[in-house]
Amino acid sequence: MSYRIIYNETPARPEETARRDTTWTEEFAHEHQALGRARELLETGEHHSVAVCDHSGNELHGVRLQLKLGGFSGD
């Protein structure tokens, strides 16, 4: 099963928004790898939007993603 992380760069200054509004995607074979990478991205504070899509295409973001990263089941 594959998992996908989608995240955006956060511009350092508002005037840089158009130049750096880039979306990145990474693929992982296992859920724990995807969640680990999502946690890493969030902890750096350099990305304002991080989502994880599971093998069924369900997108985990916001509170649901935080619960998963914290070890709680959102279901």
Higher pLDDT, 57 or 72: 57
CA geometry: angle 39, 75, 40, nearest 5 deg: 0
- Predicted confidence at residue 70, as pLDDT, reads 79
Residue 58 dihedral angles phi and psi, to the nearest 5°: -70, 135
Instruction: Read off the pTM.
Output: 0.70
Cα separation, 64 vs 51, in Å, equals 10
In this prediction, residues 2-22 reach a mean pLDDT of 70
In this prediction, residues 37-63 reach a mean pLDDT of 83
Cα separation, 69 vs 75, in Å, equals 14
- Predicted confidence at residue 4, as pLDDT, reads 94
Higher pLDDT, 20 or 61: 61
- Predicted confidence at residue 53, as pLDDT, reads 92
**DSSP letter (8 states) at residue 57:** S
